[in-house]
Chain A
Amino acid sequence: MIVAERKPFDEIRNMVSNYKKVLTVGCGTCVAVCLAGGSKEVETLNAELNLAFKKDGIEFGAETLERQCDMEFLAELDNKVDQYDCLLSMACGAGIQFLAERFPNKPVLPAVNTSFIGVNLDVGWYEEKCRACGQCVLAMTGGVCPVTMCAKSLFNGPCGGTNKTSCEIHTDQPCAWFKIYERLSGQGRLAQIMTVSPPNDWSNQKPRKVIQPGYEERIKAMHS
């Protein structure tokens, strides 16, 4: 899932302080699961905002959509946004941008910082696992991502900083390449990393699009 964290309250307060009617928009998917921007978090944030702006008379509305990264769900707000002069989104960066695209005349403000694609370690505890590099090498590296888990994203690690199973950046951070070695060694697959991995394709630094097989014609038709 995409993991996010709510922004510090003071930052949110400063952002909304010049508006009179603010609609806080939650998202029911990733950010709800990671306890950052679902309906509960919308409720909590609005309670805090109401308290802070009691004297200023700012009104806060609340809506939580199934997903903000889908126009179909954003359409549910079409009849409501006119009553507000600002939208405060608690979705991930993708959702916030899609909301802003749906309502280009309204200021859309982010109430969360989007952190990473990660997993649930425990309730309220998440760890990054994927950088969405677009060139997955997990087959070669025994299911441990060198792009995400190695602080230098090395494809031919470990570097000289590997430190008794830890990374040089911190003893709490495991060395990804130690893990890769351990995993592949245990599976008798060390041959996988005996040859040099060539330079990676990082050409992911422009906005990317994905069209799943079977949908090419439909999308072509929509754009013609």
Chain B
Amino acid sequence: MKAGSKLERVLKAGHFAFTGEVGPPRGANVNSIREKLKHLKGNVDMVNVTDNQTAMVRMSSWAASIICIQEGVEPNFQMVCRDRNRIAMQADILGAYAHGIRNMLCLSGDHQMFGDHPQSKGVFDLDSMQLIMMVKKMRDEGKFLSGADIDVKPEIFIGAAANPFAEPFEWRVHRLAKKVAAGADFIQTQCVYNMPKIREWIRQANDMGLTEKVYILPGVTPMKSIGMAKYMQSKVPGMDVPDEIIKRLQGVDKKKVADEGIKIACEQIAEFKEMKGVAGVHLMPIEWEHMVPEIAERAGVLPRPEV
């Protein structure tokens, strides 16, 4: 065991992992996050806690992660490179570990121009790859990036993101290989809608032996509406939504669109369960946390294993 987090134990035991996500509030509203967690508890193995996503100021991800622990839900502390230099990053990693946080997801972060403080100075002292390397060094060598010794090293299960779709597609698997080489233990991907492409990407990862070194959890986000599908197709960078998805949603009765979205998500999960090289699924129900119990039920991933 590298960190002994619940996620690590689930994966190590060979179970198909099922992880969720929660966005901290735009304020100090602790109840709102507790409310969201009620729907996730027991239905997922771990919850990603986003770090000022889309560069909008929110409660800090480590603080919201601690609230998760208080509520009995294992957090995946997300850390972006946009807002902290290497000093602050290492300090927050130590603080997070001290409070019982055992998983981290290392990300670049959306550019600050998208958020509510576009005048801010983007830090990007390290990039996501270098952040992964740094956490690994802290954990495995017990050393700060500078080389100095750490007094009680942070044992963190290291996560990274992957976008299997962006052009040039042939480069994607090599970038995954770089993240594995940097020290990623698990990968959560961008929301998947293009199944042929992810099949091909996973096949390449299998061929390169990467899936033996890293646990891959494709991202699944059920479409709530046709508008959402169109928005994701045209407006969200790095997203690949095939026309067939939109056509399928358009093909059902207006009242059944959301249900059809869940159906598509469940079909994806069913396929991922059987896909060689896939270790689980990361469910990102954007502001739809209350639907997680139903989605988990319909996807046949309940009950979650006790490990």
**Are the CB atoms of B238 and A163 closer together than 8 Å?**
yes
Tell me the bound Cα distance from A156 to B128 in angstroms: 8
Is A97 in the interface zone, CB < 8 Å from B? no
Tell me the bound Cα distance from A195 to B130 in angstroms: 12
Segment at the interface with A among B39-47, B105-113, B253-261: B105-113
Segment at the interface with B among A1-9, A30-38, A133-141, A147-155: A147-155
Interface size class of B (residues with CB under 8 A): 35 or more
Question: B127 contacts which chain A residues (CB < 8 A)?
Answer: 152, 154-157, 159
Which residues between 159 and 182 of chain A lie within 8 Å of chain B, taking CB atoms? 159-166, 168-169, 178, 181-182
Q: Which residue of B lies closest to A164 (CB)?
A: B167
**Are the CB atoms of B167 and A162 closer together than 8 Å?**
yes
- B111, B128, B129: the one contacting A168 at CB < 8 Å is B111
Q: How far is the CB of A189 from chain B (nearest CB, A)?
A: 14
Question: B129 contacts which chain A residues (CB < 8 A)?
Answer: 155-156, 196-197
Is B246 in the interface zone, CB < 8 Å from A? no
Question: B108 contacts which chain A residues (CB < 8 A)?
Answer: 152, 154, 159-161
Tell me the bound Cα distance from A202 to B110 in angstroms: 21
Task: Knowing A160-B163, A162-B167 are in contact, say whether A198-B133 is a contact too (CB < 8 A).
Answer: yes
Tell me the bound Cα distance from A164 to B167 in angstroms: 6
Q: Which residue of A lies closest to B125 (CB)?
A: A202
Which residues between 102 and 131 of chain B lie within 8 Å of chain A, taking CB atoms? 107-111, 113-114, 122, 124-130
Is B307 in the interface zone, CB < 8 Å from A? no
- A152, A162, A197: the one contacting B82 at CB < 8 Å is A152
Tell me the bound Cα distance from A80 to B127 in angstroms: 52
Q: How far is the CB of A176 from chain B (nearest CB, A)?
A: 12
Question: A190 contacts which chain B residues (CB < 8 A)?
Answer: 174
Q: How far is the CB of A183 from chain B (nearest CB, A)?
A: 12
Interface centre among B134, B167, B178 (most CB of A within 10 A): B167
Is A158 in the interface zone, CB < 8 Å from B? yes
Question: B134 contacts which chain A residues (CB < 8 A)?
Answer: 199
Question: B220 contacts which chain A residues (CB < 8 A)?
Answer: none
Question: B238 contacts which chain A residues (CB < 8 A)?
Answer: 160-163, 168
Is B192 in the interface zone, CB < 8 Å from A? no
* 7 CB < 8 A contacts A-B: A152-B122, A153-B124, A156-B127, A156-B175, A196-B133, A198-B130, A199-B130
**Contacts A151-B122, A162-B167, A195-B181 given; 13 further ones with Cβ under 8 A?**
A152-B111, A154-B124, A156-B129, A158-B166, A158-B175, A160-B161, A160-B166, A160-B190, A161-B237, A164-B167, A178-B168, A197-B130, A199-B86
Binding site for B on A (CB under 8 A): 151-166, 168-169, 178, 181-182, 185, 190, 194-199, 202
Binding site for A on B (CB under 8 A): 81-82, 86, 107-111, 113-114, 122, 124-130, 133-134, 145, 161-163, 166-168, 171, 174-175, 177-178, 181-182, 190, 237-238
